[in-house]
Amino acid sequence: MEFELEAVLSFSGEIDEIIDDISKVISAANEDILKRGIPKNVESGGASVVEHSVEGKDLHVKIISDRYVRAHDGIVRLRKKLSEDMGKKHHVGVRDVKIDQYQIRFELEDEPKKEIKLPFVDNIKIDGKECEISVSSLTEDQLQRNFVDRIINRIKEKVHHQYYEGKEEKWELVWESKKKDIIWNEDPTEAMEERGWIKKGPTKGKWFYRPQAAKILKTMEEIAVTEVLKPLGFEEIIESIMVPFDVWIDTGHMEGIPNEAYYISEPRTRDPEEWEEMIDEIKISRDVPIEKLDQMTTAPRAGVCYAQCPIIYWSLKNRTISDNSLPVLIFDKTSPSARYESGGRHGIERVDEFHRIEPVYIGTKEQLIDLKEKLIERYKFVFEDILELEWRMANVTPFYLQQAGEEEEDGETELGTVDFEAYLPYRGSREESEWLEFQNLSLFKKYTDSFNIKSQTKELYSGCTGIGLERWASAFLAQKGLDPENWPEEFIKRFGDMPKGIELL
């Protein structure tokens, strides 16, 4: 890696007279502060100021460096030193640092397959695996906030993704149930719509569940709570459905799913007078003047719950959990999740608004590996003995993570995600059709790190398992049909009688 930075340090006063003292600080810096932090066993030049000149209040410098003491860190150190020394001696300090030119050369792991673009960067030049970028618009604050490293990482990441785009995740069968007799092969959503158990809408990817369908979903919920969560000691919490962006920055959702989130805006004011014109227009036109509404509301700064766990982690941010409370076992079943699924929408299986129980667990690695086994045991009981599903479990890892070797974190395969999948007869044969992921279970280290959640003694891990009620219902109904006579006895026991519903003429 090579860095070549040309910058202007603007002082609070004229510095032509003190150029000699400035030159001395620079020479000393070249020997000392611009070389600090280089590991002993590497041969490195660190950073060096190779040119400097003065013009009025401005000091122009050119710094070159290698990966140790990168030039943008060098300039920050130099600024501090100059301000300290020149402040004491001549009562002037550096007011501002402005980048004129910044060229960075580094090696990529793979040759890019197509052009790469990036904000903050003026130009990206690629020759084979050699990459040279120029940036000139970064402020000092942005330099200090590590923008350059993130720019380099983002370029590497983009090249990496070009190689693994569209590739499947790694899928490894862990367990599968026995085959069950196929007694029905219709699409349960269509069948429920025909019977009037559900109604599509009122907006894209949403459903209205009439009493029959609502009772099926609610029975699924009840089963999950009483047969899985309560026996393992999970306790219920209630959280907000609105997630501010800073929480999604911490979880990575803001960069991971900005294209799937639903966003929330607020009224600019609650003053009724300011809304009067808008209200008049609605009363007269019986329509919403969208442009006017746009002016009366803020740009979004929050989104609708995408998964319930981010707010749960937020609630424990920067806190130390007592050993007495470990493992923390909690769940939310109040907040629905919203996702803009667009072309992927189908039936009640892939919707824009779904109902999910999300249990979250935080504890030591041993505690969570033990919990994972117990959860799987309880789930098995439910899917085998109550719902009598044909289903399977698989270890899954997104392809790009496999390549980065991240799933082998700590050399442990217990971390990662298990998908639970059910066979949907209406989609075709067992072998060729796509099975439905009706829930998952994950364990990882990342969220306790990013939210700085600590215990008294040990390192904490965490995880969640999303119990999708629409997905449980889809799996069950696709295999068992809508006629309770064909439903397993253990399910009927918990479901009771079919609601009368509403007869529509």
The residues that are catalytic are 309, 339, 341, 350, 358, 419, 437, 440, 464, 471
Q: Which does 462 bind (CB under 5 to 8 A by kind): ligand ATP, Zn ion, none?
A: none
Answer yes or no whether residue 49 interacts with ligand ATP by CB under 6 A: no
Minimum CB–partner distance for residue 24 and ligand ATP (Å): 59
User: Which two tokens mark 240?
Assistant: 């907000």
Task: Give the residue, chosen from 57, 81, 339, 372, that forms a contact with ligand ATP under the rule CB under 6 A.
Answer: 339
Answer yes or no whether residue 421 interacts with ligand ATP by CB under 6 A: no
Answer yes or no whether residue 438 interacts with ligand ATP by CB under 6 A: yes
3-state secondary structure 179-209: CCCCCCCCCHHHHHHHHCCEEECCCCCCEEE
Beta-bridge partner residues of 176: 392
Residue nearest to ligand ATP (CB): 468
Minimum CB–partner distance for residue 378 and ligand ATP (Å): 17
Q: Which does 309 bind (CB under 5 to 8 A by kind): Zn ion, ligand ATP, none?
A: Zn ion
Closest to 237 measured CA to CA, from 333, 363, 337: 333
453 or 475: whose CB is closer to ligand ATP?
A: 475
- Residue 150 amino acid letter: R
Minimum CB–partner distance for residue 309 and Zn ion (Å): 3
> SS3 breakdown of the chain: % helix, strand, coil, rounded to 5?
40, 25, 35
Minimum CB–partner distance for residue 68 and ligand ATP (Å): 40
| Residues contacting 440, CB < 8 A, separation 6+ | 417, 418, 419, 420, 465, 466
Binding span for ligand ATP by CB under 6 A among 135-143, 262-270, 289-297, 463-471: 463-471
Site string for ligand ATP, 341-380 (x = CB under 6 A): x--------xx--x-x------------------------
Site for Zn ion in 448-477 (CB under 5 A): 464
Q: How many angstroms separate the CA atoms of 16 and 157, rounded?
A: 45
- Residue 18 amino acid letter: I
Minimum CB–partner distance for residue 351 and ligand ATP (Å): 4
Site size for ligand ATP (CB under 6 A): 15
| Residues contacting 356, CB < 8 A, separation 6+ | 307, 308, 333, 336, 337, 466, 467, 468, 469
188 or 468: whose CB is closer to ligand ATP?
A: 468
Q: How many angstroms separate the CA atoms of 441 and 351, rounded?
A: 20
Maximum Cα interatomic distance, the chain, rounded to a whole number of Å:
97
Binding span for ligand ATP by CB under 6 A among 172-180, 243-251, 405-413, 462-470: 462-470
Minimum CB–partner distance for residue 352 and Zn ion (Å): 18
Closest to 98 measured CA to CA, from 143, 152, 146, 67: 143
Q: Residue 482, SS3? A: coil
Task: Give the residue, chosen from 192, 307, 316, 338, that forms a contact with Zn ion under the rule CB under 5 A.
Answer: 307
| Residues found near Zn ion in the complex (CB under 5 A) | 307, 309, 464
